[in-house]
Each structure stands twice: as C-alpha cells, then as structure tokens.
Amino acid sequence: MKTQFPNDFLWGGAVAANQVEGAYNADGKGLSTSDFQPHGLMYPPGERKPGEFNLKDVAIDFYHHYPQDIALFAGMGFKTLRTSIAWTRIYPNGDEQQPNEAGLAFYDALFDEMLKNGIQPLITLSHYEMPYHLVQHYGGWGNRQTIAFFERYATTVFERYQHKVKWWLTFNEINCALFSCFTALGLPPGSSPQVVYQAIHHQLVASARVVKACHRIIPDAKIGNMVAAMPYYPLTCHPDDVLEAQRKEREWLFFFDVQARGEYPSYMQRRFDEQHILLQISAQDRDDLQETVDFLSFSYYMSSCASADPQKQQATGNILNMIHNPYLSASDWGWQIDPAGLRHLLNMLWDRYRKPLFIVENGLGAKDQIEEDGTIRDDYRIAYLNDHLVQAGEAIADGVQLLGYTSWGPIDLVSASTAEMSKRYGFIHVDRDDEGNGTLERRRKKSFTWYQQVIASNGGSLVKPELDGR
C-alpha cells in the first residue's frame, strides 16, 4: 500500500538566514551573535577581529542569489520554504526605535519572489541569532528588557508582511538553550542553571506575547514554536533506565508543554527544587503564557538511548551527549539514523498535545563527491529521506495530523554545529569549500529529481523499505 499524504500537505525545505544569506554587514545590517561564532555552536564565542575569516560572512550568498535559488526550489515543486528573518537586518542593534528600511525591503523582495513561484513563506523570527548589541549592553535574554525588544521586532515584521506571510515560528530549537546558552540566549558559556532558566523564562514569555500579537495583527495566520526533538529509548528494560528516558525527554518536552498548554508543567517544579532554582515569574507572565501556539514544529535528526548507569554514558555525535544505540547505523558525523523513531515521535506528540504537527527540519549531513561526469549521486541521502518520509506517512495513517515537511538544507549551506560547507545536506550543490574557495555555482544532485518526483506524486513515489525480519 502506497504512503498517503493529505492533498494540502506542505512539501518544501528549510534554511536559516545566518547560514545562507551572507552579506553580513550589507545595507545597514548589524552584527548578530552568529557573527561571533565563526566555528559553529560546538565552540565558545570569540571576539570578532577586523579581517577575521568567518565562512558565514558570505555563506552561499543567498542575499544576492535568491531569485536563482527560489527558481530551483520551484522547479522541485516546493509548496513552502522555511527561512528566517535576520533580526539585525530589521533592528541592527535591537534597541532602536525605528527599523532599518533596507532590511525590510530585502525580505519584501524575497517573499514576493517566493509567492511569484507559488511557494508559501514559513518564517522563523529568531534562528540561532540575536543582535550582539543586546548581549553586550543588556545581557541578552538574561535581561527582562529583551522581551520588549523582541516584541517590537516581531510586531514590525507582522505589520509589514501580514499580506505575504501566513506561517510563522517564534524561536528555532528553543531548547538549544540547555546545551548552547550563548547561541540561544546570549549568555556566557557555563552560565548557572538559575541564570539559564530565568533567561529561558523570558524567552518563553516573549514567545507567548508574540503569538498574541500575531493572532491580533494577522488573524488568518498560523504561528507555532519549534524544538529540537529527540526520542529516548531505555538502554535496557530496567525500570531505572525507563525513568531516565522519561527524564531526558522531559528536558525538551518542557518547552512544548509551556507553549502548547500555557503553563509550566508540574514536574519542572521538582527539577527546580533539586537544582535550587527560583524563577522570577510575575502574575502578568503567567497570564501571557496562556496564549498558546497554533501548531507544534520540530527538527528530527536522531534518537538516543538513556541509562541510569553512569558507567554506560558516552559522548557521540554533535554537541549532544548521547548513548549509542547498537541497532542503528550512523552518519559521517556520528548522528544515528532512526527513521522509525520519527513515527514514534509523531505519535507521541500527537497523543500528548492533540495539536497539528509540522516537521520543519530533517536531513542527512554527508560528504558528497562530484563524479568525473559532473554528477553527484547521493543515493545515501535519497535512502535517508525516503525512509523517514515513509515513517511520516505511517504516522499519518496512525491518525497524526501532520501539516508538512521541510527538509533541512535543500541547498548546501554552512552547518550550524561546526560552521563548515563540507557537511552537505542539499538537493543542490554549491561550489564553496570550508576555506571559502569556490565559484558559488549551483548544481543539481541526483536527489533533486528524486524529491521533485516525491512532491509531484504527493509521496506516492516513496518506496517502503523491506523489513529485516524482526
């Protein structure tokens, strides 16, 4: 039986401003926290020195190439493209009274180009960046004043683009604050749990207030949140491992719980008590948090195992501390590949919240090889995406309401974790290397035609993998 997706399913891809746009100081743009992370999220931020190389300064120069890139996306049949607005293009320092018109005009042109090609914008307000000025002079999200600055920025773009953008997200992978507090919150690396969770609280309140503003300014829009989702399996059937898996999942489910249910979950109070965390939460904050999101979106790249035994802990893959699953293979970067985990995740989230779901990031970072004839035969990427989409279809058959799927990095970009080009995700190759060499030429990979067929058939061309007999 073929996988069935809804007729209005939103097929597309996802990128982030700081990983594709380049033009880091063009047309009045200010410096963001991303501009102070030249080596990616895995490394502490450094001071920016004149002339210091940062691959993201140019990235793939989407700022100047977007008409060509949008045409390529349209050629694949995209229904939507998820990207972000660079906050510092609109408010270069973050605390100005008036926005930067040149920045607003750029996104007008970008959204017009998308709509002209039949592609709906799905826009993230803050994707791993914020004005560095707010970090220097206010302490980032550790300062309650940042809530008002974010509200002003969001209100500005809602009013400007209300007739062009109907799908919004507040923060990208908001739970990133737990493992990269500078990236997410503008806090010094190693900040205490008290400081981190107070800043997270400010961000959650800001998100809720912005959701309310969106509902008021664009009544026909839908606005959601976004987390990095990772299901945890108990390493064994020992009850302690089962409880540890639940505890690990609650670390990120907490963010969904607040934004989908409108209040702090009770289990967090025990965690706060155990860590001696006392948050400053006003009555107005509690009222604000009751403004909940319209849908839940997430990235899914891998699952992990959990064990209560400290001797079984091991660090593998990216910046997360994960326990290796002996039943799964892994990518070139150590991310374990678990398509069935996506079905499990979708069902778990649907059962827990009964809100529409949206997969806004999923993809395979790999080392691509250009063959002598100029082709890039990325069958490994096709297999990865096919198997995950088959499981998404199974979840739909299970009864999950799934709005859409935007693969991460439909065009090669600068990776967030390690700030390199050699970790490639795209259906489209960009001629640029880790040292910044290359022509920026765009080239279709084999997966380009594959995804084109998937969209044209509304998932009908997907191939269900053979069972391994288990």
Give the pLDDT mean for 143-168: 98
In a domain, 3, yes or no: no
Predicted local confidence at residue 4, as pLDDT: 81
310-313 long-range Cβ contacts below 8 angstroms, 24+ apart: 312/235
In a domain, 445, yes or no: yes
User: Which residue type does 19 have?
Assistant: Q
**What is the band of 3 on the pLDDT scale with cuts at 50, 70, 90?**
low
Closest by CA position to 256, among listed 217, 277, 234, 230: 230
d(CA 150, CA 202): 11
Q: What is the pTM of this model?
A: 0.96
Give the largest CA-CA distance in the chain. Answer: 65
Helix axis angle for 379-398 and 446-456, nearest 10°, is 20
User: Which residue type does 122 have?
Assistant: L
- Per-residue pLDDT tens over the stretch 236-284: 999 999 999 999 999 999 999 999 999 999 999 999 999 999 999 999 9
**What is the band of 466 on the pLDDT scale with cuts at 50, 70, 90?**
confident
Beta-bridge partner residues of 306: 234
Tokens encoding 4: 């069935």
Domain that holds residue 390: 10-456
Integer Rg of the chain from CA: 21
Which residue did the predictor score with more confidence, 414 or 465?
414
In a domain, 464, yes or no: no
In a domain, 178, yes or no: yes
Predicted local confidence at residue 333, as pLDDT: 83
d(CA 2, CA 396): 12
Contact between 325 and 338 under an 8 Å Cβ cutoff? The reply is yes
d(CA 95, CA 196): 22
Give the pLDDT mean for 177-202: 96
Tokens encoding 103: 């920045």
In a domain, 468, yes or no: no
* 192 has pLDDT over 80: yes
Query: Residue 256's domain is classified under what CATH number?
Result: 3.20.20.80
Predicted local confidence at residue 468, as pLDDT: 57
The total of structural domains in the chain comes to 1
Which residues have C-beta within 8 Å of that of residue 155, sequence separation ≥ 6? Answer: 210, 213, 217
Closest by CA position to 213, among listed 171, 168, 254: 168
* 314 has pLDDT over 70: no
Mean pLDDT, the chain, rounded, equals: 95
- Residue 125, SS3 per DSSP: strand
Which residue did the predictor score with more confidence, 93 or 42?
93
Predicted local confidence at residue 396, as pLDDT: 98
In a domain, 245, yes or no: yes
Predicted local confidence at residue 79, as pLDDT: 98
Virtual torsion, Cα 96, 98, 103, 104, nearest 10 deg: 140
In a domain, 63, yes or no: yes
In a domain, 463, yes or no: no
Which residues have C-beta within 8 Å of that of residue 330, sequence separation ≥ 6? Answer: 316, 317, 336, 337
- Per-residue pLDDT tens over the stretch 15-57: 999 999 999 999 999 999 999 999 998 888 988 888 889 999 9
Predicted local confidence at residue 49, as pLDDT: 86
- Residues with a known catalytic role: 173, 361
Closest by CA position to 48, among listed 37, 60, 59, 61: 37
- Residue 156, SS3 per DSSP: helix
